[in-house]
Structure 1
Amino acid sequence: MELGYKKMYIDGQLVDAVSGAKEKVECPGTGDIIAEIAWGGKEDAILALDAAQAAFKKWSKMSINTRKMWMDKLRDAVIKRQHDIREAVMYEMGKTYNQAVEDYETVVNALEWYPQEMLHRRDEIIPDPDGTHAHHLIAKPAGVAVGYLAWNFPLLNLGFKIGPALAAGCTVILKPSANAPLSAYLIGEILESINFPKGVVNIVAGSNEELALTLSSSKIPRVITMIGSSVSGRIAMQQAATSIKHFSMELGGNAPAIVFDDANIVQAVNDLAALKFGNCGQVCVSPNRIFVHENVYDEFVERFVGKAKKLEVGFGNDAKIDMGPIVDGRSRDRVMKLAEKTLAEGAKLECGGKIPADKPNGYFFEPTVFTNVNRNMTIFREEIFGPLAAIYKFKTEEEVLDMANDCEVGLSSYLYTNDISRINKFTSEMEVGEVHVNGFKYAIYLPHGGVKESGLGHDCSHLALNDYLELKRITIRK
């Protein structure tokens, strides 16, 4: 597929980079160059910042009903371009056409859900025990928001940011990843086609060294929001320290999944295999450390390995394909080296571990399962971000809880047991932002956020709006 040349979107217009720079976009499923994009630099960042700042004065003062009207118009235009959007995600990221629906639907859902949620918000009244004053807390838009988007869910991430920011009254500058910029640039084309108020949304990709540094270090943004690694989050916060800003960051994860011997093993295997190998393991909530009680360990491993071996690896719109490629050659090399190191450190390879022989093009890697792993191995510490599953054996609650919490990050987790007291204990004591018990669910209305090095604030739910709002107290003498 040839997607041609895509321009960035600044101040209501599709534009080339000031420098004229372009960047090639590669399809991880074929290794072919499929498009070029305008590649922004410092000058483009300044133009976007100025446009967003000027637009904020008008957008923030619009009624929520007016903002909702514009967001509805954008939603409807996105729906009309569903096929193009899903194809763009498929070709830039390597997902199957069916899997790309999640990115598309998240944008639609975010544009619809957040303005409705803002309509339901009410100012908070604070009781005065002396009866002498009336107190109100009102929420105001924070200002310009800069959003850095990860490549693994390029439009899902865009929806997580654009929905609450626009509904709250903020203007935004979105920097998509160089690995997956096409779908975001397509949103820019849609915004331009419906004459969306200029400067309210700006979309520009470019280097971290020039574009991101200029955006983060500017004193114009009031909000820096990101989906990325913990290292990237720390860098962005350091660069943004030129002024006091809000931070909303969903960062790295190393999710533990704990399966006790009273669990529904079939359900646990189905869920965790889907989570582990979905999107080729390139998911921040992927179950990286799967802990299984010794009484059901052998059964779990047999079933899980059986699932992994049956997965159809490929690229395209064939509904039979279960897992696509890794995003690029450098990422596949990293995953391959981690697999080799895991073996060298003493793990047992149950299946996978290599490039599929029938996939010479693109960046494919087999669904891979390791057993005989322990917490001293590299794979225990690193965020895998690839189709490698590590299964650990445990005996006691104390042992597995200690292993689960032995981690610098704490985003998502999964627990399989039918023991109520155990559920209460682990949901309370696991050091994570969310615990999924005997199943999992992610949705735009459910809070998603982490603890420790996994970030600040929330994506999704009403809580995400708080990251784009500032509270003001009004006190009036009676």
Structure 2
Amino acid sequence: MNPMLKYGHKKLYIDGKLSEAADQKKFEVICPATEEPIATIAWANQVDTQRALIAAQEGFEFWSQLPLQERLDWIDKLRNKLIENEELLRSSIMYEMGKIWEGSGEDFTSIINSLQYYSEEIKKRNDIAIDDKEGTHVHHLKQQPLGVAVAFLAYNFPLLNLGFKLGPALAAGCSIILKPSEFSPLSAYIIGELCQEINFPKGVINIICGDVKEVGIPLCESKIPRLVTMIGSTETAQKLIQQSSKTSIKRYSMECGGNAPFIVFEDANMDLAVNTGAALKIGNSGQICVAPNRFFVQESVINDFCDGMVTKFKNAKIGFGRENKPDMGPLTNEASVEKVHSIIIKAITQGGELLFGGRPIEGTGFYFEPTVIKLDNRAEVLNHEIFGPVALIVPFKTKEEAIALANNTDAGLASYVFSENKETLNYFADKLEFGEVQLNGVKYDIYLPHGGVKNSGIGVDCSTYALDDYLIKKRVSLALQ
């Protein structure tokens, strides 16, 4: 082990044990703020993947039969262990993502809240009686654990994404294999260490990371998983569905990419709209699936909105570390910088007016200037999810035009509308083709359903509805003699 690595070396967590990869392969985790390695992780191959699948199946057979209260006691024990290690977990997120310290708190709180929320919510899932119209039978609907779940996680919120899957899976009685992103696997591997420390029942939670051919495809093609769940891009979701449907019929719960519209009317509270829009683009360096991608602003106030965004971005403190208290950190890797930069160049080529920013920040780290571009609504670049701190601002005249512009996308995750007119808000709540419509503000929490329509996903994360993906509904009918 390299003594210079801040977090040393982390092992796979399979069948209740920490272990090296079968071929001893390791992978370096790089801090995007410093471009220096901070840890190595065991890098799984097909042998490890098969071990995880078999362990998860055996873990499910135990976990699903465990009395509910015993399951909840174990979940509570895990939750308490995570709370004891808040500093370690938040620090690991800050370094693996270059995330600001306050942002790491959102990650940590999300997994804690998920474990707590689903422990309470599963108690409400009782058998449901079904009336028999002819009076010949008694029927009831039983809700039982589905089976092994495989979860592919995005890099942007390492523990939030993990928590959104782990909470409902454990509460429902499912075992799970967690495959974190190779760009932010450190905190997930630490969760494995903490599971081992409390002797969490073996096979119930398994954490591995590796190449697509060695881990991703074998997990999908196996007949063992009953659910494939993911947070990531639409393209990745399509590949997972294709791969996993070759050998068996599985369930899917997938939160895919977004192309969120942010619509501002001339009667809106301009300070509120600017503050909200800027915060969503600066937060996590714009690497949020629900971050506004396209800002549609009524033309009579577009200059005011643009000026407000430029001021916010100019004043944003960019950096790394707890003591520095930055507002925004770096992007995740060099490829992200190149992608964001190419989108900006494309926007300017398509007639966009660069009002602020537009370039990678020179020096160490994958930093990018928060950017404001004003452009025409016909620009093709509006079809691309940015996943970076870039605001593309487009004018509109009427609410009908705004609806047409907003819905002109294959994505359908989040949307935002700012207006003081109740009729306008109701109109957009009805007409917007998105899984979430946020009016005059933003609210996310574990009890609120989070999901998309069109190419933005299948199923729901958060809320009681997420449990439905991990439970089967079995009808039992008793004939009356």
| Shorter-normalised TM range | over 0.9
Distance between the aligned counterparts of 2:244 and 2:446, measured in 1? 28
Q: Is the 8 A contact 1:348 1:373 kept in 2?
A: no
| The one of 125, 132, 135 aligned to 1:128 | 132
| The one of 260, 265, 281 aligned to 1:255 | 260
Shift of 1:121: 1.9
| The one of 224, 245, 251 aligned to 2:228 | 224
The residue correspondences of 1:4-403 to structure 2 (distance < 5 A) are 4-241=8-245, 242-318=247-323, 320-357=325-362, 360-378=363-381, 380-403=382-405
Secondary structure of residue in 2 paired with 1:467:
helix
Deviations 1:191-230 (A, max 9, x none): 0000000000000000112210000000000000000000
Q: How many residues align?
A: 475
Q: Is the 8 A contact 2:125 2:143 kept in 1?
A: no
Deviations 1:331-385 (A, max 9, x none): 111111111121122101111111234xx0010001001012323332x001100
Distance between the aligned counterparts of 2:45 and 2:321, measured in 1? 33
Distance between the aligned counterparts of 1:160 and 1:373, measured in 2? 38
Distance between the aligned counterparts of 1:122 and 1:356, measured in 2? 55
Q: Which runs of 5+ in 1 are unaligned?
A: none
Amino acid at match of 2:478: I
Structure 2 counterpart of 1:465: 467
1:414 aligns with 2:400: no
User: What TM-score comes out, normalization by structure 2 length?
Assistant: 0.97
Distance between the aligned counterparts of 1:240 and 1:307, measured in 2? 45
Query: RMSD in angstroms over aligned alpha carbons?
Result: 1.0
Secondary structure of residue in 2 paired with 1:99:
helix
Distance between the aligned counterparts of 1:3 and 1:251, measured in 2? 31
Shift of 1:319: 5.6
Deviations 1:156-210 (A, max 9, x none): 0000000000000000000000000000000000000000000000000001122
Distance between the aligned counterparts of 2:423 and 2:128, measured in 1? 37
Q: Is the 8 A contact 1:216 1:236 kept in 2?
A: yes
Secondary structure of residue in 1 paired with 2:61:
helix
Structure 1 counterpart of 2:456: 454
Q: Is the 8 A contact 1:96 1:318 kept in 2?
A: no
Shift of 1:65: 1.1
Secondary structure of residue in 1 paired with 2:171:
helix
Q: Is the 8 A contact 1:371 1:390 kept in 2?
A: yes
Secondary structure of residue in 1 paired with 2:248:
coil
Amino acid at match of 1:471: K
Q: Is the 8 A contact 1:248 1:455 kept in 2?
A: yes
Q: Is the 8 A contact 1:254 1:411 kept in 2?
A: yes
Shift of 1:55: 1.1
Secondary structure of residue in 2 paired with 1:290:
strand
Distance between the aligned counterparts of 1:372 and 1:67, measured in 2? 54
Distance between the aligned counterparts of 1:344 and 1:257, measured in 2? 23
Distance between the aligned counterparts of 2:286 and 2:126, measured in 1? 41
User: Sequence identity of aligned pairs in percent?
Assistant: 49
Secondary structure of residue in 1 paired with 2:116:
helix
Deviations 1:399-438 (A, max 9, x none): 1100100000100111111222222221111110010100
Amino acid at match of 1:403: L
Q: Is the 8 A contact 2:63 2:71 kept in 1?
A: yes
Deviations 1:118-144 (A, max 9, x none): 012222211222222221111111100
Amino acid at match of 1:465: L
| The one of 444, 447, 450 aligned to 1:445 | 447
Distance between the aligned counterparts of 1:297 and 1:339, measured in 2? 20
Amino acid at match of 1:228: G
1:477 aligns with 2:470: no
Q: Which runs of 5+ in 2 are unaligned?
A: none
Distance between the aligned counterparts of 1:221 and 1:374, measured in 2? 44
Deviations 1:272-301 (A, max 9, x none): 111112100100000000111112211111
